[in-house]
Structure 1
Amino acid sequence: MSSRFTAQSPLAGRTASRTRPSMSECDWLFSWTECQMKEIEAKELKRKYKERKQLLENLEQRIKELQKEIEETHELRYNFEMFLKDEEADIAVRRAEREMKALQEKEAKIEELKKEYAEMTERKQELLSQVQIYSVYKDFMEEVLNLTTFEDVDALTGYFESLLHFRDQLYQKENQVQDQVDQQRKALLKLNDQHDLLFLQKNNQLSQLQTELEKTRSEAIIWERKWNHIQETAAKKTLELGQIKMATLNLYELTDGIVGPEGVAINDTDKQLEQIKMYINDQNDILKQYQTLLRRSADGDKQEKTKNKRKKAKNNQ
């Protein structure tokens, strides 16, 4: 069916070019559908117009009857003024008043209906004008129908309506997909921003850690130097201490000190120093005594020499 329609489309194109050359197929179908709707609406307005017209005629008949009744009521009212106590006249007056009120309401309703009728008439004229404008599409549709395998215009219109409906569904689906793509794109941009921010934060942290690492390395080098100095100083002190212990042991042995189980332990430097100190004090005491003896001997020799000098001097005299 589609191939046949496509093959014979030049005729349809020529027909459309005679009516409105710039109109596309979808615009034409929309105009045709709208034309059908306008015709239906025009028929509905015509039916309502007849109903309103009949209602107006009934209202006019009723108005005439009410006017007649009003005239009769006026006569009854005149009689009522003549015969004030007549109950029937009173009832007629009340009835006339009610009917007068109802008449006024109906007159207002008539005015409203006349106004509505004028609006509907104007709308009908507009619809008829549109139907007249779109009637060319009806003719074109009938010509197109002759070129297709459809049985009537309604079937062809239904086919195009289904195509339009399918197109609207595809358009809605495309919009939904586009919305999802936009949402995914926004989410991706947000994730990229978060990634960039996280990357920047990590770079800052890495810079800080590198700075702290360099600082720690510098401090480690300083402390390593100090530790090496301490080790060197400790080694020197240990060597000096060993030398002191060896010298102390030698001095202790020189003072005839005994090393071993019978004397002082070889590593007991304190006792060895005490022993050396005692030995030195003893030697100092001995030295002082010896020096005292030497001084005394020198003094005796000096006195002896003095006496000898004196004796020589006397002898020489």
Structure 2
Amino acid sequence: MSLGIMEEDELAEYFRLQYGERLLQLLQKFPNIEEQSGSSIRLLEKKKEAKIMHTAMEQKKETFRRRMETLNLRWEELGTKEAQLKAHIQKFEQFIQENDQKRIRALKKANKERELKRQRVRELAKVKQEMGALRLQHQRLSTRMQEFSVFNKYLEKVVEHSEFEEIHEVISRYKTLISMHHDLMQSAQEGQEKIERAKARLARYMEEKDDEILQHNNELARLQMRFDRARSDVIVWESRWAHIQNTAAKKTLLLGTIKMAALNLFQIVSKQLKETAAVSLEDTHKQLDMIQQFIQDLSDIWTEVRRKEQQQVRV
């Protein structure tokens, strides 16, 4: 409704501007009444035309207003129909959605039923297979019973000609003997295993002792080598000791000779000095010191004599 009113106002403003400007232009074209009094008739005619035009404009405005009202009514009807159509579309979409959900649930249910049916079929096939296997087993057992019927007859004859009264007593006796045989075999096997373990321990012990004997032999060989080296070293050192003893004897003899020579020389020096020094006969070092001092004194005297002789020769 507001849109129609706005368009009507704009249209009225348009007519006012268009026709108002034309009226002003027409009025401006008319000459002044005071100056042209003869044109009053034309002015009245023009005013009449303007009034007619104004009336026509008002009629057009009224027509336009009515048309706008009609358009507004149609616009409102269209809005109502649009709202109804939207509601109808929403209901239709909801209906479609509900149908889709129902269809999905129906599909799920159908799939579940098909899967359940397939499972039942598989179970039925498995049961049939088991039934077939049981029938085959029953046939095999029946065949074996027919085959073992000979042994049953044989056991009946055994019972007739033995101390047993029933077949199950014979079977119990047989089971007892089998159990005893099994126990004896187990005991024999355990004894054999003990013997094998003892043999293994003995083998390990012998191997360990062989290793120890080998180690002792190696140690004995090493000690024998050390003993042989020691014996050879003893021979070498004995020869060296004999050489040292011989050398020591020679050195001792030479030392005795040197001491005797030093003593003789000391006695000669003492005679030359004409004095008796308190020196032991065994103190060779002091004797040599006195001999050295005597020789030094003689050297000094000889040097002094030579110097004086040279002075006399010069004079």
TM-score range, shorter chain: 0.3 to 0.5
Question: What is the TM-score normalised by the length of structure 2?
Answer: 0.48
Question: What is the TM-score normalised by the length of structure 1?
Answer: 0.48
Structure showing greater radius of gyration is 2
**RCO higher in 1 or 2 (8 Å CA, sep ≥ 6)?**
1
